[in-house]
Amino acid sequence: MDLLTKFIDTYPVFLKGMLLTFEITIVSIFIAIFIGLFFAFLKISNIKILEWIADLYIFLVRGTPLVVQIFIFYFGLTAFNISDFLAVVLGLAFHNGAYIAEIFRGAIQSIDHGQMEAGRSLGMTIGLTMRRIILPQASRRALPPLGNQFIIALKDSSLASFIGMYELFNVATTHGSLKYDYMSYLLIVAVYYLILVLFFSIIVRMIEKKMSSSD
Amino acid sequence: MNNGIMINVEKLNKTFGDLHVLKDIDMTVKQSEVVCLIGASGSGKSTLLRCINFLELKDSGLVMIGGEKIEKETHDLNEVRAKVGMVFQHFNLFPHKTVLENVMEAPIYVKKCPKEEAKMEARALLKKVGLSDKEDVYPSKLSGGQKQRVAIARALAMKPEIMLFDEPTSALDPELVGEVLATMKELAEEGMTMVVVTHEMGFAREVADWAVYMHEGRIVEVGHPEQLFSNPKEERTKNFLDSVL
Ligand SMILES: Nc1ncnc2c1ncn2[C@@H]1O[C@H](COP(=O)(O)OP(=O)(O)OP(=O)(O)O)[C@@H](O)[C@H]1O
Ligand SMILES: [Mg+2]
């Protein structure tokens, strides 16, 4: 039996898996952006204790395997009647938040100090200048590395299969073991991932183009 | 009420760590006066300007704006800054906003001015600085001189009582200096109170009421520009002028 017929035979269940992969990625990245922004602000706050808190968080995320983090969130949260989906999403958000915090911090600090000065010299508060002047420029600069992080998060979401989420990778390995044919279904799932990554890349490229109108 | 005194600085001191940058500065600027500040790099000219609009906070001394003693405990410094415009050496325009949006930003978000009104006033200001045809352009498309004129319009949009200029022409190609100085001169003629850090002696001679020479954080000499530049009383002023002219 060739790969194509296997692909056609299984596409409804793979599409379902793809949808779940997509949902896990989108929701976790969405939350991770807020976590990232929050810790980025702690890091640039110039208040030692807040910087330490952010450093500790980043150290914890970087210093432990993602799969361990996901399991800790899974066992830690489902004990409180939190759904598997939410536990996985929060685990991934916790993980990506650290990388996104560093992306935002770098982007904010790369904006010329004169921008803050100019805003404040016009009577704008630090907060208003941050919101109206610094962040719009910083997000534009953060977009390429953020897009990169989206794609990493998308691929990392495959680890949700370890706690039984029926997302793309789990669909593939389940089929593989049922049919004693891992190779075919792994090749098929690779195609689905490539499609998703391509989709994300195009979206990011479109946003980048739209935002670069002032250059 | 304020006897026409717009800026009054008394015994102003400012340090950065161990570095004593401003030492017992006394300075009084009356309404509609134009003052030029000169001095070597690192003498504290920028820091003095920044203390006058509270981008830097003094260590000790007194800063009065429009006859009112300003303290961070009793005043909203953002409101004070809104009344004291500042123009920077490197323009610091907002690159993600068009020329018109640059000028409208603070009136809309600080003064809560209605958008249409802000737009009309911004257009009038751009006309005044001769850039009506550039309102929808982004700053990256402007020459240095045009950028600086937009920056002046942006500061004027807050209707400041005082304008501070920190080396407004020293980042410009020589052929673009004139247009910015002309705009500043016009502003001076309209009666704006101005403090200008500049080494444009021609401008100082023509426009300034008096000039100040700063050296290592102190005001060494104050005088009419013509006298200060041609016939300085202090040896240090003379040495400095010899080195820059
Ligand atoms: N935020 C700061 N932190 C530490 N030191 C500073 C700070 N701002 C200025 N200084 C120092 O204070 C001194 C005076 O600086 P200032 O910028 O006021 O000089 P200036 O007269 O404007 O010089 P220039 O002609 O180079 O602009 C310099 O030695 C400078 O390094
Ligand atoms: Mg300076």
DSSP characters over A174-192: HHHHHTT-HHHHHHHHHHH
Report residue A211's pLDDT band, with 50, 70 and 90 as the boundaries: confident
H-helix or E-strand spanning residue B65: strand B60-65
Ligand 1 mean position, distance from CA B42 (Å): 5
Q: How far apart are CA B86 and CA B37, in angstroms?
A: 15
For residue A121, give the nearest of B164, B38, B119, B95 by alpha carbon: B164
**DSSP code of residue B138:** -
pLDDT tens, position by position, A169-206:
999 999 999 989 999 999 999 999 999 999 999 998 99
SS3 B15: strand
Mean pLDDT by 10 residues, chain B (245 residues): 82 95 96 95 95 94 91 90 95 96 96 95 96 95 95 96 96 93 95 94 93 95 93 91 83
Is the pTM higher than 0.90?
A: no
B71 CB contacts (<8 Å, ≥6 apart)? Answer: none
> Residue A192 in contact with residue A11, Cβ under 8 Å?
no
Q: Is A115 on the interface with B (CB under 8 A)?
A: yes
Name the CATH topology of A3-213. MetI-like fold (1.10.3720)
Distance CA A156, CA A25 (A): 9
| B42 within ligand 1 shell (Cβ under 6 A) | yes
**Dihedral angle computed from the Cα positions of residues A196, A34, B92 and B214, in that order, rounded to the nearest 10 degrees:** -140
CA-CA distance, B12 to A42, in Å (whole number)?
A: 33
Cβ neighbours of A136 in B, within 8 Å: 96
The answer to whether the beta carbons of residues B55 and A121 sit under 8 Å apart is yes
CB-CB neighbours of B170 under 10 Å: 13
- Whether A214 has a pLDDT exceeding 70, the answer reads no
CB neighbours of B145 closer than 8 A, spacing ≥ 6? B172, B173, B176, B177, B179, B180
Contacts of A159 (CB under 8 A, 6+ apart): A66, A67, A70
Binning pLDDT at 50, 70 and 90, where does residue A1 land?
low
For residue B49, give the chain A residue with the closest CA: A121
Q: Which ligand is nearest to the CA of B56?
A: 1
Q: Which two structure tokens, joined as six digits, stand for B33?
A: 């006066």
Structure tokens given for B103: 């000028």
How far is C-alpha B133 from the chain's CA centre?
26
Number of other CB atoms surrounding residue A13 within 10 Å? 13
Please state the atom number of ligand 1 nearest to the C-alpha of residue B56: 1
- Tokens 């919101």 found at: A131
pLDDT in tens, A51-78: 999 999 999 999 999 999 999 999 998 8
Q: Does B16 touch chain A (CB under 8 A)?
A: no
Nearest CA to ligand 1 atom 31: B42
Q: In testing the pocket of ligand 1, which one of B23, B47, B56, B165 has its CB within 8 Å of the most ligand atoms? A: B47
Angstrom distance (rounded) from CA B106 to CA B81 = 11
Could you tell me the end-to-end alpha-carbon distance of chain B, in angstroms, rounded to an integer? 42
Residue-wise pLDDT for A126-171, tens only, equals: 999 999 999 999 999 999 999 999 999 999 999 999 998 899 999 9
CA angle B210, A120, B72 (to 5 degrees): 80
Whole-complex ipTM: 0.92
- Confidence (pLDDT) at B1: 47
Question: Which chain B residue's Cα is nearest to A139?
Answer: B96
Residues of B in contact with A114 (CB under 8 A): 88, 90, 92
Distance in angstroms (rounded) separating the CA atoms of residues B44 and A139: 35
* pLDDT, position B197: 97
Q: B45 CA to middle of ligand 2, Å? A: 6
Q: Give every CB contact of residue B14 below 8 A, 6+ residues apart in sequence.
A: B20, B21, B22, B44, B47, B51, B56, B58, B59
pLDDT tens-digit map of A78-136: 889 889 999 999 999 999 999 999 999 999 999 999 999 999 999 999 999 999 999 99
* Chain B interface test: which of A112, A113, A122 (most B C-beta within 10 Å): A122
Q: What pLDDT score does B9 carry? A: 95
Distance CA B47, CA B55 (A): 9
Tell me the C-alpha distance between B202 and A187, whole Å.
Answer: 76
SS3 B86: strand
